[in-house]
Amino acid sequence: MADRPAGAAGEGDNRPKLSLHVPEPKFRPGDAVDFSHLQIPEAGVQPRPDETCDPKDMRDLAFGLVRVLGEDNKAHGPWDPKLDPETLRRMLGHMAMTRAFDERMFRGQRQGKTSFYMKCTGEEATSVSASMALAADDMVFPSYRQQGILIQRGYPLIEMINQIYSNKGDKLKGRQLPIMYSSREHSFFTISGNLATQTPQAVGWAMASAAKGDSRIAATWVGEGSTAEGDFHSACLFATVYNAPVILNVVNNQWAISSFSGFAGGERTTFAARAIGYGLAGLRVDGNDALACYAAQKWAADRARANAGPTLIEFFTYRAEGHSTSDDPSGYRSAQERNEWPLGDPVTRLKDHLIAIGEWDEERQQKMDLEAAEYVKAVTKEAEANGILGHGLHHPFRTMFEDVFEELPWHLKEQSEQAIRERETKFPGGLKL
């Protein structure tokens, strides 16, 4: 047997054995759920510092929880954005439309009309409310659960559905997975399935905007699981070193695909606390409080525009549905979690706030929900005329060689011609080339 290196533990060694810690969620399928371990402060108790403050002076805000809406459904404290009732109703309408859109597209996937879909149920405020605090031309770099941003910015639903179906009306020509939208006109950067790539892209875009002396800032969204990716940490470093006018939004919905937030470091500290080590401003926010989401994003946007630096915001929320239509959360978490989540539902909380201040009622809410569902249904029917999964109504085969080079190189011309010949041989006159 080979000699043991000096200092290595062996037989008769009295040093304690090392052990490895593997994170384990508190509740598994079938378990009773108790969220009493979460520290949920009262609404309105968190201080609101000046937007140009030194990050070290706001350290506690990375560990607390910025909240505006209280148990009485009223707005409290210095973070209250004091939005007028019409803006609040518009916000509620965007959230209702996002939820109706999710329901219809989820159903379409189950009917085989598309291969894949991802709902954002329970997280609508983190996209709709937060993006409403930005300028319409601020550049957003989303993850795959921010469909509410496009809906809030007025992107036509039919274009979203065409992309989901990858049909002949799809402006991306079937080159992206369903739900990975892109719209230059709406300052919405192409969604990527590769985790966290959007974070350094957002920082780089913001640096370029500053270098040009522009007035537009950037904001990006990433799930808490994706903060374990190296790209996220590179983004934090470049953002703080170059004082990039960017907002790094971390949506902590407690679960990555089927692993809980502890595997990304959530057991040890908050995700907002990662800002401290980089010298970033850090805020931890009630992600189911639409007013708090708006207020935090507005604070960070004003800070970026004042050249005071970037901000990392953790939206503390809960993924009510599965990760995607390919996921069954009942296999890894308790079914009670959704109902026991202490921060409630963002749509219900905003509705109840409007009712509490005398600007809404249940009848109007029912009407809004019905109109949203009917509108999405009608637009879906219109989009389905352009084709659905597997029905052959898609872009011509030759388009797969287009839109990359201004002038097609000789070798791609040869490949295109060969591919078209082979398809004509296999499907004579039967397929659109």
pLDDT at 431: 56
pTM to 2 decimals?
Answer: 0.94
pLDDT at 11: 65
Of 159, 157, 181, 166, nearest to 115 (Cα)?
Answer: 166
How many Cβ atoms from other residues are within 10 Å of residue 85's Cβ? 12
Query: What is the architecture, at CATH level 2, of domain 55-384?
Result: 3-Layer(aba) Sandwich (3.40)
pLDDT at 10: 60
pLDDT at 420: 86
Query: pLDDT of the chain along its 433 residues, tens only?
Result: 556 665 555 666 899 999 999 999 999 999 999 999 999 999 999 999 999 999 999 999 999 999 999 999 999 999 999 999 999 999 999 999 999 999 999 999 999 999 999 999 999 999 999 999 999 999 999 999 999 999 999 999 999 999 999 999 999 999 999 999 999 999 999 999 999 999 999 999 999 999 999 999 999 999 999 999 999 999 999 999 999 999 999 999 999 988 999 999 999 999 999 999 999 999 999 999 999 999 999 999 999 999 999 999 999 999 999 999 999 999 999 999 999 999 999 999 999 999 999 999 999 999 999 999 999 999 999 999 999 998 878 888 778 888 889 999 999 999 989 988 888 888 776 555 5
Report domain extents, the chain.
Answer: 55-384, 400-426
